């Protein structure tokens, strides 16, 4: 417990409480915070749109290769983020296997831009949502789906009106985890999107820059991310303990 708590206590003890408002209201910090919130939210939205159908396939499909697909989907959970950033460069860079065609056909260059931040955050964060939703789909009672189908509901209607309401708590928990992971992403973002103020410099990158020149600012930014993490734990308390929020 000491190993886990003493570093966090160090942040609180060394925090420049008197100068905290001044630091957090500087244009650089406000821009990094704005960019972090916007990109993390967009990454979460993309993860929900792509991740929920993917989780449904992983949970319900009996097709060959689903186990391999599940392993590949969860790979970013254990892959070093910087390796993920290199992989994204090789895929979507100007000479990447996909990026070269995007550049030649549409004049679209993703790396070292704000969209690159969203792509990097989605890559590392979406597995959290997929794992949460897939687990809920596996344990959900399929009898309700079958009953709705026998009453004439289409597969899409069953999914939207029956399945989604059943797994809503897991979906919300997965989305919150996904958002928090995207907000704290560093390695893949630095490698694939760079560290450009106002364009790709998110809060974790701002902390990395500040620790070299202004330790008080680095501590202040770290406190913001710590507050977000604690908030996520409070929001998900019922899911981890099986109790309500009260």
Per-residue pLDDT tens digits for 52-92: 999 999 988 888 888 889 889 989 988 899 999 999 999 99
This prediction's pTM? 0.86
Q: State the Cα–Cα distance between residues 177 and 163, nearest whole angstrom.
A: 21
Comparing CA positions, the residue from 89, 83, 38 lying closest to residue 192 is 89
* Domains of the chain, first to last: 21-245 (1.10.3720.10)
The DSSP-derived string for 148-178 is: HHHTT--HHHHIIIIIHHHHHHHHHHHHHHH
SS3 (DSSP) at 194 = coil
- Which pLDDT band, with edges at 50, 70 and 90, does 43 fall under? very high
- Which pLDDT band, with edges at 50, 70 and 90, does 238 fall under? low
Q: State the Cα–Cα distance between residues 178 and 167, nearest whole angstrom.
A: 16
Tens of pLDDT, residue by residue over 96-105, are: 899 899 888 8
CA angle 204, 123, 180 (to 5 degrees): 45
């Amino acid at each position: 417990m000491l190993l886990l708590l003493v570093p966090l206590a160090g942040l609180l003890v060394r925090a420049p409480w008197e100068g905290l408002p001044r630091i957090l209201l500087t244009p650089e910090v406000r821009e990094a915070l704005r960019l972090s919130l916007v990109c993390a939210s967009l990454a979460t939205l993309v993860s929900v749109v792509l991740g929920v159908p993917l989780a449904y396939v992983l949970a319900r499909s009996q097709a060959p290769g689903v186990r391999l697909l599940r392993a590949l989907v969860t790979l970013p959970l254990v892959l070093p983020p910087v390796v993920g950033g290199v992989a994204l460069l090789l895929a979507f860079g100007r000479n990447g296997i996909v990026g070269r065609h995007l550049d030649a056909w549409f004049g679209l260059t993703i790396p070292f831009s704000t969209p690159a931040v969203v792509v990097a955050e989605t890559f590392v964060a979406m597995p959290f949502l997929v794992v949460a939703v897939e687990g809920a789909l596996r344990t959900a009672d399929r009898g309700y789906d079958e009953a709705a189908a026998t009453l004439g509901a289409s597969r899409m209607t069953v999914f939207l009106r029956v399945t989604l309401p059943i797994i809503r708590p897991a979906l919300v928990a997965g989305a919150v985890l996904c958002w928090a992971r995207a907000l704290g992403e560093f390695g893949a973002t630095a490698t694939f999107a760079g560290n450009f103020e106002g364009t790709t410099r998110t809060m974790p990158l701002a902390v990395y820059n500040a620790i070299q020149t202004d330790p008080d600012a680095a501590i202040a930014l770290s406190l913001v991310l710590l507050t977000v993490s604690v908030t996520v734990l409070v929001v998900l308390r019922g899911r981890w303990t099986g109790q309500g929020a009260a």
